[in-house]
Amino acid sequence: MLTGTDLLTVGQMTARSGFAASALRYYEAEGLISASRTSGGQRRYERHILRRLAFIRAAQNIGLSLEEIKEALGKLPEGRTPTPADWAKISRAWRGRLEEEIEALVRLRDGLEQCIGCGCLSMKRCRISNPDDVAGRYGSGAVTLPELLREDRRTHG
């Protein structure tokens, strides 16, 4: 199946990474991954690209945008194949991000407890949905509790 070199075809990459071929092309166009070409113009991927894709998928799961992921990937060493330590280094920042997301959700859940307890869902008092007391301070569109969360969940205001 595999000839002299250990370069991988698009088909092999889709099978091994779970990403669609169109996604791989997209990532290449966006500068997140790279590929060499055969004389006929077909893509051939080095094996370590799989690790890059693993990183991309993991980062997506944490909620990073492709732009952020690209930036993170840019911090990898240029000349050599990244070591496990390199990957660990750039992943370390994720922990804080995840912690924040978890905390925001927990606050939301606890606020919800209160709201369900009192049935208050209101612009004036509700802890999980109260833009009113923020509107004056930040202008319209601001949200009380889960600002962090909203940034993660919605594309733009």
Partner DNA sequence: GCTTGACCTGAAGTGCACTTGAACTTGCAG
Partner DNA sequence: CTGCAAGTTCAAGTGCACTTCAGGTCAAGC
Site residues for DNA per CB under 7 A: 3, 9-12, 14, 20-23, 25-27, 38-43, 60, 65-67, 141, 154-157
Q: In the structure encoding, which two tokens stand for residue 86, read together?
A: 């390199």
11 binds, among its own copies, DNA, none (CB under 5 to 8 A by kind): DNA
Q: Which is nearer to DNA, 42 or 122 (CB)?
A: 42
Which partner in DNA, its own copies, none is near 76 (CB below 5 to 8 A by kind)? none
Residues 6-65 that bind its own copies (CB under 8 A): 14-20, 50-51, 53-55, 57-58, 60-63
**Nearer residue to its own copies within complex by CB, 40 or 85:** 85
